[in-house]
Amino acid sequence: MLRCKECKPVELRLSHGLSHPGQRHTASSCPLYVHVIDGRSPAMAEATTSQKCKDENERFPMMDWSQYDTFPGSFEKCSLMTAALTHVGMYLLMFLGFVNQLLFKPKVATERNREGYAPLYNPFEQFFSRYVYRRVRHCFNRPISSTPGAELTLKERHTDDYNWSFRFTGTEKRCINLGSYNYLGFAEASGPCAEAAEAAARRYGLALASSRGELGSTALHDELERTTADFLGVEAAVVFGMGFATNALGLPGLLGGGALVLSDENNHASLILGLRLARVAVRVFRHNDVRHCERLARAALAEGRWTKVVIVVEGVYSMEGSVAPLAALVALKKRLGLYLYLDEAHSVGAMGPRGRGVTDHCGVSPRDVDVLMGTFTKSFGAAGGYIAGSRRLVEWVRGRCHAHGYAHAMSPPVAAQVLAAMRAISSPVGLQRVARLRDNTHHFRRRLREMGAITFGHEDSPVVPMLVYTFSKMAATVERLTERGLATVGVGYPATPLNKARIRFCLSAAHSRAQIDRCLDSIEAVVQEVGLRYSRR
């Protein structure tokens, strides 16, 4: 029974079969408040009953967003001139590519022995990758020959045929690494994590050659699942062998027909693939725009034909460097009776004072988020992913997702690395890493701003995109930074919109202040040279 302050009592049956006589059901007093059999949580009941309403046809009020932090991240717009020049630059590149294609067709671009077959590729896609992307190909897929730690060793390549092919020069270059997702610096070739991994490999083998549901479970996997759940502050977790597959194979198990998903426009490819395989209806809301999300949710509720509505967001967006406004989303979901799926691929370990992810950062109870998903690739320096939440949820995912029975179990040394790293984060030394990452991030972002470059996202996000707009500037910047001993990543179409190419820096706790300052000095020189002072603030 829920007793509302102002209206008549509202009867609520709880699916866990317990009643709390005399106790008020609110989010804070009843930990199981979400599981309500007739589908209406106390928060929803409160939303209707606490507002004195006489007429049923009256419009249900919108959220009062003034109480919440709805900051979507900083996305400074460039001047009209820059935008126009970027477009002209892109068209010019395309035009040159087109001319190039007419004049020169290399051997690799033709298929053998398949005359009379339908062409295998979409002509534009092929044109783009051969004659536009090829010009900047040397900035991607660069091989390294060391740990992707604070520094890395680049194997230098040279091209004799304008990036159609590369050959190794045999030389190597040591660079400071601002490209890998090694947020907490656990990508280490020695130390306690590596030792744990070695021990696990010797004990269990490198792989179990079986799926978790068949003969691929070990005590190590169970322990990892328990530790992950404790780390995140939820009841249970299930782990998967690959981060991408966690979304692509886990989502179809979680959701099914009849559900509507409200998905952020910048969600990762794995989420989009997972939603497609789950065969759910998807509507996209503008990046980090809770008001737009609310409008879509209200429209869906008014339609009255969905069995459930799920918001799917990421904690930290890897291309934008922005953080989801989690507190606002949780309030919205509670009020309207929606569910929240949070992908913490880039945030778990890296965000929050205790490194517990974006829930920790935003001060939201992890139990208020229905599904917590994340990967072990980034902060933990391993591979794989998890889905965590209530025990029932985890069993539900385990029993219905595609990974448990079909995909092979996580490799034991990888699981051991995650366990060791996760335990390390909880120790005082680990917390120092988390703090150092935050310091590095703040310092780095502040200096970039002072230089006059446009950066996207939130102050605390360790992913720092610096806008360069055109493809050519992206390549020029990456080249120059490499010359100065700085390994960074340029991102352009198709990962970003055509005219929003950027350089992405990923900070790490492994970087010392001196290294960061050295990087910043190099960046400043390049910003000056290439002309990246786009900011007008």
Residue from 317, 376, 456, 471 binding other proteins (CB under 8 A)? 376
Residue 197 or 239 having the CB closest to other proteins = 197
| Residues 453-482 contacting other proteins, CB under 8 A | none
Tokens standing for residue 48 = 């209707």
**Is the separation of the CB atoms in 368 and 330 below 8 Å?**
yes
**Is the separation of the CB atoms in 352 and 334 below 8 Å?**
no
The span from the CA of 46 to the CA of 4, in Å, is 7
Segment near other proteins (CB under 8 A); pick from 89-97, 320-328, 401-409, 517-525: 401-409
Q: Does 80 bind other proteins (CB under 8 A)?
A: no
DSSP 3-17: --SSS--B---BTTS
- Binding mask 419-448 toward other proteins (x if CB under 8 A, else -) reads ------------------------------
* DSSP secondary structure code for residue 459 in this structure: T
Residue 225 or 451 having the CB closest to other proteins = 225
Q: Does 197 bind other proteins (CB under 8 A)?
A: yes
Q: Does 226 bind other proteins (CB under 8 A)?
A: no
Segment near other proteins (CB under 8 A); pick from 281-289, 293-301, 355-363, 465-473: 293-301
Residue 413 or 534 having the CB closest to other proteins = 413
CA angle 60/66/71 to nearest 5° reads 115
Q: How many alpha carbons fall within 13 Å on the CB side of residue 465? A: 26
The span from the CA of 232 to the CA of 394, in Å, is 14
As a whole number of Å, the CA-based R_g of the chain is 25
Segment near other proteins (CB under 8 A); pick from 395-403, 448-456, 474-482, 527-535: 395-403
Residue from 298, 443, 447, 480 binding other proteins (CB under 8 A)? 298
The span from the CA of 305 to the CA of 302, in Å, is 8
Residue from 63, 150, 187, 328 binding other proteins (CB under 8 A)? 187
Rounded to a whole number of angstroms, the minimum distance from the CB of residue 143 to other proteins is: 5
Which three-class secondary structure state does DSSP give residue 110? coil
Residue from 248, 476, 481, 507 binding other proteins (CB under 8 A)? 248
Q: Does 138 bind other proteins (CB under 8 A)?
A: no
Residue from 3, 15, 19, 230 binding other proteins (CB under 8 A)? 15
Q: Does 35 bind other proteins (CB under 8 A)?
A: yes
Q: Does 339 bind other proteins (CB under 8 A)?
A: yes
Q: 330, 394, 328: which is closest to 366 by C-alpha?
A: 330
Segment near other proteins (CB under 8 A); pick from 337-345, 425-433, 443-451, 461-469: 337-345
Segment near other proteins (CB under 8 A); pick from 303-311, 424-432, 442-450, 461-469: 303-311
**Is the separation of the CB atoms in 149 and 176 below 8 Å?**
no
**Is the separation of the CB atoms in 373 and 246 below 8 Å?**
yes
Residue count at the site for other proteins (CB under 8 A)?
145
Rounded to a whole number of angstroms, the minimum distance from the CB of residue 292 to other proteins is: 10
CA distances 514 to 65, 366, 444, 511, 523, Å, are: 42, 36, 12, 8, 14
Residue 24 or 308 having the CB closest to other proteins = 308
Tokens standing for residue 418 = 């995650």
| Residues 97-136 contacting other proteins, CB under 8 A | 108-114, 116-122, 125, 129, 133
Rounded to a whole number of angstroms, the minimum distance from the CB of residue 108 to other proteins is: 5
Residue 205 or 353 having the CB closest to other proteins = 205
Q: 333, 324, 315: which is closest to 289 by C-alpha?
A: 324
Segment near other proteins (CB under 8 A); pick from 81-89, 248-256, 321-329, 348-356: 248-256
The span from the CA of 241 to the CA of 526, in Å, is 40
Q: Does 244 bind other proteins (CB under 8 A)?
A: yes
The span from the CA of 359 to the CA of 343, in Å, is 11
- Binding mask 254-273 toward other proteins (x if CB under 8 A, else -) reads x---x---------xxx--x
Residue 271 or 526 having the CB closest to other proteins = 271
| Residues 511-530 contacting other proteins, CB under 8 A | none
Alpha carbon 528 to chain centroid, angstroms: 31
Residue from 25, 142, 287, 473 binding other proteins (CB under 8 A)? 142
Those residues with Cβ within 8 angstroms of residue 494's Cβ, 6 or more apart along the chain or in another chain: none
Tokens standing for residue 265 = 């426009």
Sheet holding 385-389, edge to edge: 236-240, 385-389, 371-375, 339-343, 308-314, 259-264, 281-285
**Is the separation of the CB atoms in 510 and 185 below 8 Å?**
yes
Q: Does 214 bind other proteins (CB under 8 A)?
A: yes
Question: Positive or negative CA dihedral for 245, 247, 248, 249?
Answer: positive
Q: Does 398 bind other proteins (CB under 8 A)?
A: yes
Segment near other proteins (CB under 8 A); pick from 59-67, 97-105, 425-433, 455-463: 59-67
Rounded to a whole number of angstroms, the minimum distance from the CB of residue 279 to other proteins is: 9
Segment near other proteins (CB under 8 A); pick from 57-65, 69-77, 455-463, 528-536: 57-65
**Is the separation of the CB atoms in 275 and 263 below 8 Å?**
yes
Q: Does 396 bind other proteins (CB under 8 A)?
A: yes
Residue from 370, 441, 455, 469 binding other proteins (CB under 8 A)? 370
Those residues with Cβ within 8 angstroms of residue 161's Cβ, 6 or more apart along the chain or in another chain: none
**Is the separation of the CB atoms in 260 and 281 below 8 Å?**
yes
